[in-house]
Structure 1
Amino acid sequence: MSFPTPSSPPDLVIKNRFLGFLIWQSIPSTMIYLFSKTLISAIVNTFTHSTNSNGSTTGRNPLLVFVPSFIGFISFFTFHLSQLLFSATLSVVASPQPERSASPLELAIGIFRLLVVPGDGDVGGRLPENDSPDFRRRVKVSVSFFMFAAASAAAGFTAAVSLCGVSLIDEYDCGFWLIERVGLRGFVVGLLFGLHYVYKRRWVLEFPIIQRPPYFSFKMELPSAARRAFRLSSAAFLLSAILTEILPHPFKSKLAMQKFFTEQIIFSIGIFAVFLCWELSHHLHQVLHTKRFIFAPPKGSAAAETNPSEHLLAALEESNPTSLLRYLAYLDLYMVCENNVDPWRRAAFFEETGETYKRVIAVCLRPLEHLSSRLGEGLGNSVGTAAQISNQLLSPTDTRLDLKYLESLNNFQLYAWCSKTVASLTAGSHREDKFGVAQLSGSNAAVISTLISCLLAIETITGKKTNLQSPNQLLGPAGIRWATVNTGRADAIASAKKRSGPVNSKAYAIADVLKNSIYQVVSAFHDEMLASAKAGMLEKEWVANGKPLFGSREILVQKLRLFLDFQAT
């Protein structure tokens, strides 16, 4: 049966989580709206009270905000409509995989090519290909970012008018002019929030390995969300105030001093309430969409007895590579393999035919193979003198080399899941694989070869020398050991300058995960590997046949020997 189907639970989990997010985000938004509306009404009542003939003051009761009225209903409805608009576009722009968008210059050039220079040929080798899949993908990402920023601005306009403008329309002259002024400021602060959200890449979903209950995770985020909302609302308030003051009439303030300060206080409270709602919606979206989903039939059912891994493998193999469904499947697989959750599912991977095990290893190695191939294309797929000379020609402070690999290294959490999963399965096969499918299928050699190839590619872009030499190569014809030039200080200075770059921080993190994964496998099979090395069979049993994705088979064998001697650093 094809999977996923429209009626299958794994396919519906994304839709159900989205609908649940829309429902749950309305609860804190309603509470914040009522509290803010009461506070704003109290401030308006305090600063716009009237004085009777006997000197007493009268004003509206702040609790009248809870009394049903037509204007109150419209204000409440429009506020939640703005929250719904923000939440819906938040789900559109959110992605588990970091995506690179097209720059404004690339978009302008693409439009120019589409209108003026038809055809598939590149003009001068500089204009982007309109029909290129990568260019179309980046254009879609840019459009989604633009939609989110525009939706944030519209939501800010609507929420500001609902919270602040409606409260002031009965108390000020030219009430509709004041609504326009408040709406303009709400539009500006909403646009600033959207741009800041996109620029800080907060739309990338981060999957926690330690899965806490959603309520506990949401509760723990409340203080930090309030602090972040206060900082952002303060900056946005000042920028919007400056903008409205430099604009010509009718947006420039013409109120009395007391009413002017009242407007500022009310707007600051309103925009803080809006930002707090958005921050809580952002965190609630993260919590609900990154919660682990179990891709397995119920334990004890007929499907669990026959093939419990089919749902998981179908999600990994047939879903979109950048979809949330596939990332949830990788997370579920990682949890089963790394934390030994659901041992019956882990044991099902080592079934007699070996097909399930080979499919699991293949889907986990695919992202690492893709990473090695991309880095190999950028480096010319060489681990020797050519690659090092090419890197040395660039200045240590030159970032052109780093920016080339930045996009390939962004997806750290997927690479970490895949490397740890294959390492756990390979190491676990030493005691759990009763039929020997891991060794007989060649999966062990494929795992070691892919992990080492990927590690070599990562180490090459960080400037580490990977052309290993035997001690005999340093001996001259007369058996004299030639001294090598000491460039340690220069290499250390260059490495220190490059280490601060964004690429190297990600590269070192991925390299650490790969080393730990390789050491996990080597520790489990240490005795067998030592015996194979003494018999001269290490290359045959633990390195895959054919040309590696990066480097050569000789370098892979030498690197594996370093791990076997626990000298790889």
Structure 2
Amino acid sequence: MPPAARPAPPDAVVRNRFLGFLIWQSIPSTLIFLLSALSPSKPPFPFAPWFFAVITFLSFHLSQLLFSASLSLISSTHPHPLLSPLKLSLELIRFLFVPGGSDLTGSPGSRPRVRVTVRFLAFLAAAAVSGSVAAVSVCGELGGGVWGIGRVGFRGFVMGLLYGLYYVYKRRWVLEFPIIQRPPFFSFKMGLPTAITRSLKLSGAAYLVSAILVVFLPHQFHNRVTIERLIAEQITFYIGSFLVFLCWELSHHLHQVLNTKRCIFAPPKGSAAAETNPTEHLLAALEESTPNSLPQYLAYLDLCMICENNVDTWRRAAFFEESGETYKRVVSVCLRPLEQLASKLGDGLESPVNGKSQISNQLLSPTDQRLDSKYSEPFDNFQLYAWCAWSAASLTARSNTEDRFGVAQRSGSNAAVISTLISCLLAVETYMGKKTNVPAQFMGPASIKWATSSVGNVGVAKKRVGPIHPKAYALADVLKNSIYHIVSACHDQMVSSAKTGVLEKYWVIEGKPPFGSHELLVQKLRLFLDFRAS
């Protein structure tokens, strides 16, 4: 294709947003620093005011730049599994002194976990250093010369370390994409009250902890002053810590807003590329991006907006081009994550865990969480699965009225969408402990083994009290709504096919689905047709 039509690399979107974030975060940081300079309780500098004002201004911005860069270091679209401190130490020793060897933990995926854990440790160090520099810049020396600066820097170090631990523990580094996309300025403005409230709470906790730890410093760091001066210093540090926390909270909120806003993967409307192949930009981002990366999530968000809304009808109309290749590629990228989820859940439920049979797994205590880590990882991408289900369902439903060439039916995509959604729903319901039995009229030789197996009973009590059950319940709700969306739009066609006995021919795939059996999918589809699936 000509250079003008060649799509830009998806990673360029992330780089541009990162640079834009670093620029925009300096605006609230500057305003907050100027507000701290007007504080009457801040002690004056003993030398030239303008010189120290410039030095503190630059040091404060450097501290904020360090913290903002560390946010992008650990931010992710889904939670990362981390290593324990013991395993991390063993892996680091192995990496430093025994290069080329196998993992000490025996886990093939431990190396990526080591890299992720190291990034989190680097974030904690960056937050602590940023807190120390920012506290000295905002609060000044607070009396005592160099020892006073050291005392304030130590309290700022503790403050930054506590905030880093809180940030990691609460998983605030996971990007949360809003359901309703608003303009960035409006989204940022809506988060100001929450940022101020949280900053007040965190500054109070950090002030108390740092005040207790500063007692254990050597006597040189302690400042013997009058009661009035001591009170003024404590007030100054509390105000300074609140302003630093407010800067961090605003940076975090701005980082979330800028990285989760919709990115349109399309050529300019009216250009030659928009007339010839307007979908290539989006498909390139969906198919070539790194799995679970931010560009891939932004591409799936853009696809979901196209399929569900009427804002870019010209882009959705391009999906139904006459050859049908574009439609099959779009449906394929929507169904691939759902197929992988159903396969993972099926393999985990049907295979022994830790050398034990399925019967022994049923006897596990409800508080035994040995299987949680195995089952929790597939549900970490809940947002991605929801977008895929909504996109596939909306596109299938709209094909009933917008598909002029009948490519959805001719390509077999309708059957693939319905089969994948139902198969994934069965896998999730089985994980939740819901038993699914096939009536006698639907049972055949191929389904007897599955219907009488104990897959539906594996870990039922444990899963219902586990921490992942809410995600499974939410995903099951999304899948059922998506299937009902298709059934409602194509109900007349499905009922007519059921009466003529060709329902499974046009709406269920012939081969083996990712989970369950062909007969079970037909039975579940009939329940949806009767609006009795729950």
Q: TM over 0.5, yes or no?
A: yes
2:514 counterpart residue number: 549
1:164 counterpart residue number: 139
Shift of 1:69: 1.0
2:525 counterpart residue number: 560
Describe the SS at the equivalent of 1:204. coil
Code of the aligned partner of 1:33: F
**Would you say the 8 A contact 1:4–1:314 is kept in 2?**
no
Matched, 1:98 2:89: no
Code of the aligned partner of 1:25: Q
Code of the aligned partner of 1:435: F
Deviations 1:173-206 (A, max 9, x none): x310011011011011101111111111111111
Query: For the residues of structure 1 that align with 2:283 and 2:318, how far apart are their CA atoms?
Result: 12
Query: For the residues of structure 2 that align with 1:530 and 1:164, how far apart are their CA atoms?
Result: 73
2:28 counterpart residue number: 28
1:70 to 12, 30, 51: 51
Shift of 1:551: 1.5
Deviations 1:255-308 (A, max 9, x none): 443333222111111111000000001111111111111111122211111110
Code of the aligned partner of 1:43: S
Matched, 1:453 2:423: yes
Query: For the residues of structure 1 that align with 2:332 and 2:512, how far apart are their CA atoms?
Result: 18
User: Against the structure 1 CA distance between its residues 285 and 470, is the aligned structure 2 distance closer, same or farther, given a 3 Å change threshold?
Assistant: same
Query: For the residues of structure 2 that align with 1:390 and 1:340, how far apart are their CA atoms?
Result: 52
Query: For the residues of structure 2 that align with 1:271 and 1:242, how far apart are their CA atoms?
Result: 15
Tell me which structure has the larger Cα radius of gyration.
1
Query: For the residues of structure 1 that align with 2:122 and 2:466, how far apart are their CA atoms?
Result: 31
Shift of 1:7: 8.6
Code of the aligned partner of 1:321: P
Query: For the residues of structure 2 that align with 1:512 and 1:391, how far apart are their CA atoms?
Result: 27
Matched, 1:14 2:14: yes
1:510 to 470, 475, 485: 475
2:155 to 185, 191, 215: 185
Describe the SS at the equivalent of 1:279. helix
Query: For the residues of structure 1 that align with 2:4 and 2:52, how far apart are their CA atoms?
Result: 47
Query: For the residues of structure 2 that align with 1:183 and 1:256, how far apart are their CA atoms?
Result: 22
Describe the SS at the equivalent of 1:411. helix
**Would you say the 8 A contact 1:423–1:521 is kept in 2?**
yes
2:119 counterpart residue number: 144
2:328 to 358, 371, 375: 358
**Would you say the 8 A contact 1:79–1:158 is kept in 2?**
yes
Deviations 1:479-534 (A, max 9, x none): xxxxxxxxxxxx9xx76x85453211010000000000111111222222223223
Shift of 1:218: 1.2
2:41 counterpart residue number: 43
Query: For the residues of structure 1 that align with 2:182 and 2:52, how far apart are their CA atoms?
Result: 41
Code of the aligned partner of 1:562: L
Query: For the residues of structure 1 that align with 2:258 and 2:129, how far apart are their CA atoms?
Result: 25
User: Against the structure 1 CA distance between its residues 7 and 297, is the aligned structure 2 distance closer, same or farther, given a 3 Å change threshold?
Assistant: closer
Code of the aligned partner of 1:24: W
1:393 counterpart residue number: 363
Query: For the residues of structure 2 that align with 1:434 and 1:351, how far apart are their CA atoms?
Result: 9
Describe the SS at the equivalent of 2:220. coil
**Would you say the 8 A contact 2:7–2:280 is kept in 1?**
no
Map 1:117-516 → 2, pairs under 5 A? 127-129=105-107, 132=108, 134-166=109-141, 168=142, 172=143, 174-252=144-222, 254-380=224-350, 389=359, 392-470=362-440, 499-516=464-481
Query: For the residues of structure 2 that align with 1:457 and 1:254, how far apart are their CA atoms?
Result: 68
Comparing 247-256 and 278-287, the one that deviates more: 247-256
Shift of 1:455: 0.8
Comparing 79-88 and 549-558, the one that deviates more: 549-558
**Would you say the 8 A contact 2:91–2:103 is kept in 1?**
no
Gaps of 5+ in 2: 444-456
Query: For the residues of structure 2 that align with 1:287 and 1:113, how far apart are their CA atoms?
Result: 40
**Would you say the 8 A contact 1:110–1:128 is kept in 2?**
no
Query: For the residues of structure 1 that align with 2:148 and 2:291, how far apart are their CA atoms?
Result: 49
**Would you say the 8 A contact 1:3–1:315 is kept in 2?**
no
Deviations 1:406-461 (A, max 9, x none): 12112211111000000001111111111111111111111111111111111111
Query: For the residues of structure 2 that align with 1:568 and 1:18, how far apart are their CA atoms?
Result: 45
Shift of 1:343: 0.6
Query: For the residues of structure 2 that align with 1:436 and 1:506, how far apart are their CA atoms?
Result: 36
Query: For the residues of structure 1 that align with 2:430 and 2:102, how far apart are their CA atoms?
Result: 34
User: Against the structure 1 CA distance between its residues 7 and 181, is the aligned structure 2 distance closer, same or farther, given a 3 Å change threshold?
Assistant: farther
User: Against the structure 1 CA distance between its residues 251 and 456, is the aligned structure 2 distance closer, same or farther, given a 3 Å change threshold?
Assistant: farther
Query: For the residues of structure 2 that align with 1:99 and 1:424, how far apart are their CA atoms?
Result: 30
Describe the SS at the equivalent of 1:69. helix
User: Against the structure 1 CA distance between its residues 162 and 472, is the aligned structure 2 distance closer, same or farther, given a 3 Å change threshold?
Assistant: closer
Query: For the residues of structure 2 that align with 1:3 and 1:557, how far apart are their CA atoms?
Result: 48
**Would you say the 8 A contact 2:77–2:294 is kept in 1?**
yes
Shift of 1:79: 0.3
Code of the aligned partner of 1:86: F
Shift of 1:547: 1.8
**Would you say the 8 A contact 2:7–2:284 is kept in 1?**
no
**Would you say the 8 A contact 1:28–1:277 is kept in 2?**
yes
Give identity over the alignment, percent.
Answer: 65
2:452 counterpart residue number: none
Query: For the residues of structure 2 that align with 1:7 and 1:260, how far apart are their CA atoms?
Result: 62
Query: For the residues of structure 1 that align with 2:97 and 2:9, how far apart are their CA atoms?
Result: 48
Shift of 1:10: 5.0
Comparing 4-13 and 317-326, the one that deviates more: 4-13
Instruction: Give the TM-score normalised by structure 1.
Output: 0.84
Query: For the residues of structure 1 that align with 2:3 and 2:166, how far apart are their CA atoms?
Result: 38
Query: For the residues of structure 2 that align with 1:313 and 1:229, how far apart are their CA atoms?
Result: 42
User: Against the structure 1 CA distance between its residues 7 and 530, is the aligned structure 2 distance closer, same or farther, given a 3 Å change threshold?
Assistant: closer
Query: For the residues of structure 2 that align with 1:82 and 1:75, how far apart are their CA atoms?
Result: 10
**Would you say the 8 A contact 1:296–1:311 is kept in 2?**
yes
Deviations 1:199-232 (A, max 9, x none): 1111111112312111111111111100011111
**Would you say the 8 A contact 2:94–2:103 is kept in 1?**
no
1:478 counterpart residue number: none
Describe the SS at the equivalent of 1:408. helix
Shift of 1:249: 2.9
1:522 to 481, 484, 487: 487
1:54 counterpart residue number: none
Shift of 1:148: 0.9
**Would you say the 8 A contact 2:83–2:114 is kept in 1?**
yes
Code of the aligned partner of 2:140: G
Query: For the residues of structure 2 that align with 1:319 and 1:2, how far apart are their CA atoms?
Result: 22
User: Against the structure 1 CA distance between its residues 119 and 292, is the aligned structure 2 distance closer, same or farther, given a 3 Å change threshold?
Assistant: closer
